[in-house]
Chains A and B, each alone.
Chain A
Amino acid sequence: MTQYYFIFNQELCTECNSCVIACVQKNEEIDGQLRRVLPHPISISCNHCQEPLCQEVCPVNAINKRPQDGIVTVNSEECIGCKRCAKRCLYQAPYFSETKMKTYKCDLCLDRLNNKMLPKCVESCLMQAIELKQEVELSNKEKNLIANNSLPNSGVIKPNYILKKIEER
């Protein structure tokens, strides 16, 4: 299995929100946003955790972690809209659509990945602050960052998200 990792470099981010706009444009039919920019700044979406809480709580097993690349997807045909996953996720990644009464979440733009293109958010980032790498491509420094991840509660659910902090001045 080659797990995908989001790498976010705080130093480069200018809070331009272009990643959010690109994501919303790509997922027009969902009528909501799957990626957010928090004030620090942190651009965050689904982290495709190693042990996803959303998958654990789904009553109809509609959420799946793909064994080949570790992408966590929702099967919208099976989803019954109980909102459990949206409530329980610590990073609020699943989005409950009121119009469709179903939950949607980031799937790393699977259709683009299959055509060997990068996800929309990564492509749209002006400063290239967001990167997407596979496990094999990570450098030693980045592997170190995974071990002591600074996201909250990362010890329990192991999010696959690498945060490069601004060095304290």
Chain B
Amino acid sequence: MLGLGKIFELFSNFNLTRLEVKEELCLNYRFKQKVCNRCAEVCPNSIINVEGRKLIVKKDNCNSCGFCYQVCPTGVFNILEGSNAKLTSEIRNLANKESRLKIYCSQHKRKFKDGLEIVCLGRLDEKLLLEGLLAGATDIWIVDTDCTDCKMQIGEELFKEVLSTCQDLLQANSIQNRIYYTNDEPIEEKRSSLKFNKIEANNSQTSEESFNRRDLFKVLRKGVRQASAKQLKDKGALPSKQDRLLQLIKSLDIRSTNLPWLEFSSDCDFCQGCSHLCPTDALKVEEEEERLTFKFNPLFCTSCQLCEISCFYNAVRLTDFKNNNKVQLAANDLDRHYELFSGYKARCQQCDDEFYTAKNEQKVCFNCQYVAEVII
């Protein structure tokens, strides 16, 4: 017999889970010393708990507010009810109909008809807002409400962060304020140029160059192969949230300056713990002849700080990207890793072992140094 219980289980799973949890991506799981409980702090129903290295989620009571999704740096959570894809399509539909996009939360007393209703404003992320503008809306009005008595108060703070990054991104492409967060309906500005649509149109033209059918499939197949090869590696997968935003930034060609950056000091002994722990492969090591190089791509970095915490000598530090002349970042530099720090092979005079160091005149390896200091 096929097992009635199994079928029932399948059904109940199908109905009840509003939340998908990938525990293997959680930072607490990746490294013992990291204690990250941002999701637990943010959850309004307190259904998420971090106990030691385990993430305990009672999925049944989830109201799919999406705060955990918003806050997690590595993309452990995925909202299934009112998913991103669904919201995106709704936003696109609305933006096609009207020039102004209204977004309001479901807790709001003032009722609107023509607009997008979401659980809380904290659900919105950068991609959703920019998607609306790209699809044809001239501006977005997000209805500001009184959040003081709401149990999902944290959503307001989350949304304000999203809004500020969004407006930073938009500054590069338009002078006009396109996202309003006010109580009353804002007056429409007259010089509303549809710069966004033009850019998108340009992009689509270049990608749809005159292919015949067979050529097109050839091109597509190559892409699919590359994508599947990337996914085969267990790490190096970008969190979907960041991936979506990056694709969008790519189409707009916005150069951002608020990117994370790493600084190494010469105390590093090249154990490569940091690069092994990095969940998105932002930091990796390449070995050439007699030389080890740390390479870093700030677009992949989620500022989870695992490298900083794991370093034995405190040789890695997470800083803000400084706009120096040497490194010019473009948003479409996804495949480009910048050289950060390199060390050369040397031979220890005491134990005759090979080791890597960044210091010029180091003759004794790190291990022999330590032994000389600690043990008689």
Contacts and interface: CB of A to CB of B under 8 A. Distances in A.
B367 interface: yes
A153 interface: yes
B217 interface: no
Interface of A is mostly: loop
Given A57-B312, A88-B371, A82 B353 contact: no
Contacts of A80: 271-273, 276
Contact of B271 (A59, A90, A153): A59
B367 A87 contact: yes
B33 interface: yes
B367 A82 contact: no
B135 interface: no
Nearest to A155: B376
Nearest to A84: B271
A61 interface: yes
Interface in B319-376: 351, 353, 365, 367, 370-371, 374-376
Of A57, A84, A87, A90, which is in contact with the most chain B CB atoms at under 10 Å from its CB? A87
Given A82-B271, A82-B272, A87-B353, A61 B32 contact: yes
A60 B353 contact: no
Interface of B is mostly: loop
Interface string A58-94: 0111000000000000000000101010011010000
B57 interface: no
Contacts of A60: 31, 273, 276-277, 310
B310 A59 contact: yes
A156 interface: yes
B71 interface: no
Nearest to A88: B367
A84 B367 contact: yes
Nearest to A86: B367
B369 to A, nearest CB: 11
A161 B275 CA distance: 37
Of A57, A59, A90, which is in contact with the most chain B CB atoms at under 10 Å from its CB? A59
Given A59-B312, A60-B276, A153 B375 contact: yes
B311 interface: yes
Contacts of A153: 375-376
A57 B351 CA distance: 18
Contacts of B376: 153, 156
A88 B375 CA distance: 11
Interface in B244-271: 271
Contacts of B32: 61
Contacts of B375: 90, 153, 156
A59 B371 contact: no
Contacts of B370: 57, 88
Given A80-B272, A82-B273, A59 B311 contact: yes
Nearest to B370: A88
A59 B273 contact: yes
A44 to B, nearest CB: 18
A24 to B, nearest CB: 25
A80 B374 CA distance: 25
Given A61-B33, A80-B276, A153-B375, 19 more contacts: A57-B312, A59-B273, A59-B310, A59-B312, A60-B310, A61-B31, A61-B32, A80-B271, A80-B272, A80-B273, A82-B272, A84-B271, A87-B353, A87-B367, A88-B371, A90-B371, A90-B375, A153-B376, A156-B375
7 contacts: A59-B310, A60-B273, A80-B272, A82-B271, A82-B273, A87-B365, A88-B371
Interface of B: 31-33, 271-273, 276-277, 310-312, 351, 353, 365, 367, 370-371, 374-376
